[in-house]
Chains A and B, each alone.
Chain A
Amino acid sequence: MRALNWQWPTRNGLPLPGTMISIVVAVTALGLTASVAEISLPRLIGSLGKMTVFIAQMFQGFNWDYLPQMLAKMLETLEMTVLATAIAVVISLPLGVLAAKNASPHPIVYRLTRDVLSLMRALPELVWALVFVSAVGLGPLPGVMALAFVTVGFMAKFFAESIEVVDSKAVEGVHAHGASWVQVRYFAMLPQALPDLVGTLMYILDHNLRAATILGLVGAGGIGYDMVMSMRLFQYDRLILIGLGIYVVVTLLDRLSDTLRSRLLHGKRV
């Protein structure tokens, strides 16, 4: 760097010691763990051929007879996603208030809610789905339960964080006019946190759709079961339909969330 007459904006022109140590530690850790995770370049290159064969088989044709069943399953997946997310929103809003430092009624409540939420997030949907499948049997119901459960863990935490950054001046303004505990949260905090909440909601809806597609793996409903079965039975003409179907739905959802969010952020509607 000296030779190029360049230097970092620090006292001695070298990067900060903390930054340097972090980078060295991270690179070393990656190097050490690569072999444990069986990451090897030769193996990757060696399997290129197999991958090409797999992809080539995928594009051999579409099984149009399967389309109606695929659409029905896709609809079921979508319904599971929306239902689970809606249930999670209803539960997450009050929990989010309890888990936000500036809105929680007491530090102990705040701590406790945070801990419960991290417990809910601790295991992925698939594991909770296994638990619920053994509890209520096969079908979309355990899938919805598992999705809603984990989503509450995430959503309430995100909600809490968006409530924590609201402008405290507006909160004081409403507070000073004699608004009650609930009213301050409704009229000063919620409107300010709303764009963030919608952003979170859209992201989670998107995430849940993808999560719902694999829940079928353990018999918890949705398109996942079909996907796994057609993969095991080498029915590539079905697999490609399923893949495209998921892609189209995820993309549409993404478009929708973008539109909704920009509407809310730029106040086309109040």
Chain B
Amino acid sequence: MSSISIQSVSKRFPNGFEALKHIDVDIASGSFTVILGPSGAGKSTLLRMMNGLETPSTGAIVIDGERICRNKLRSIRSRVSMVFQQFNLVDRLSVMTNVLTGRLSQRSWFGSVLYLFRREDMDIAQQALQRVGLIDKAWNRADKLSGGQQQRVGIARALAQNPKVILADEPVASLDPVASGEIMTLLREICERDNITVVVNLHQVELARRFADRIIGMNDGRLVFDGTPEQLTSSALHTIYRREGTTHESVELAVAYA
């Protein structure tokens, strides 16, 4: 059963730039998918569309049988959570409150204006923090944590809303190699244990090979590769990262050192 279905989606920005050109993909429920591609290929746009942060110009995106449209955004977002490259935490709030913002979609504005949460929300947030190993930092301010820790808070926030899908937009681009590995392992473990569909944008080919079930390659708004990590040969990489002026060798060299 497919969890996310992208149906001939195109996106043209107001300035005329065409970021996506007729993308058709189905992503299976409970799978771990990595999207690779050069900067500006449309990876982020595609991912942000799955959460309704961008709207497609043409085509449709269906999550769990429900088509994303304006008046269903809140209900879609309560099932699809997002992890960002820059973590996008509210710096001045405590780690705990940041994780609790993942519960807001389930709550009305009434308690929110007094910053009140229910007991069960607190328990869920606590469990989420336990999973990412940051329970002892719960009452620290979010901006006092290291990058890797902040990203784990981001993941805890995503977990706190009990999502069906977690989208991660270059979650390790601001982290060192060790923290990167930890974050990817955490996402992989969440995918397997909770049967959550995970879609990750990455620039690290090696991480994609290590963690993904399926790799999707994009270049210039088009789908140029779709297969398992084993099928990701050097010629496939060349297709993904090709651009004007680069030779086969230079791509290979760059990828080899990535």
The residue of chain B having its C-beta at the shortest distance from the C-beta of A182 within the complex is B109
Q: Main secondary structure on chain A at its contact with chain B?
A: helix
Per the 8 Å Cβ criterion, residues 113-158 of B in contact with A are 113, 115, 139, 141, 144, 154, 157-158
Q: Does A230 contact B (CB under 8 A)?
A: no
Q: Which of A4-12, A75-83, A168-176, A251-259 contacts B (4 or more CB under 8 A)?
A: A168-176
Inter-subunit contact B101/A174 (CB<8 Å) = yes
Q: Which of B35-43, B87-95, B219-227, B232-240 contacts A (4 or more CB under 8 A)?
A: B87-95
Inter-subunit contact B88/A172 (CB<8 Å) = yes
Q: Does B84 contact A (CB under 8 A)?
A: yes
Count of inter-chain pairs, beta carbons less than 8 A: 98
Inter-subunit contact B112/A186 (CB<8 Å) = yes
CA distance in complex: A183, B114 (Å): 11
Inter-subunit contact A174/B90 (CB<8 Å) = yes
Q: Does B86 contact A (CB under 8 A)?
A: yes
Q: Mark B56-78, 1 if CB is under 8 A from A, else 0.
A: 00000000000000000111111
Q: Does A267 contact B (CB under 8 A)?
A: yes
- Total B residues in contact with A, Cβ cutoff 8 Å: 38
Per the 8 Å Cβ criterion, residues 173-197 of A in contact with B are 173-183, 186-188, 191-192, 194-195
B102 / chain A contacts, CB cutoff of 8 Å: 177
- Total A residues in contact with B, Cβ cutoff 8 Å: 24
Q: Which residues of B are interface residues toward A (Cβ below 8 A)?
A: 51, 53, 73-78, 81-82, 84, 86-94, 97, 101-102, 104-105, 107-109, 112-113, 115, 139, 141, 144, 154, 157-158, 161
The 23 sampled A-B contact pairs (Cβ below 8 Å) are: A169-B86, A170-B88, A173-B88, A174-B90, A176-B51, A176-B53, A176-B88, A177-B77, A177-B82, A177-B158, A179-B104, A180-B108, A180-B112, A183-B101, A183-B104, A186-B115, A187-B97, A188-B90, A188-B101, A192-B90, A194-B92, A267-B92, A270-B139
Q: Which residues of A are interface residues toward B (Cβ below 8 A)?
A: 167, 169-170, 172-183, 186-188, 191-192, 194-195, 267, 270
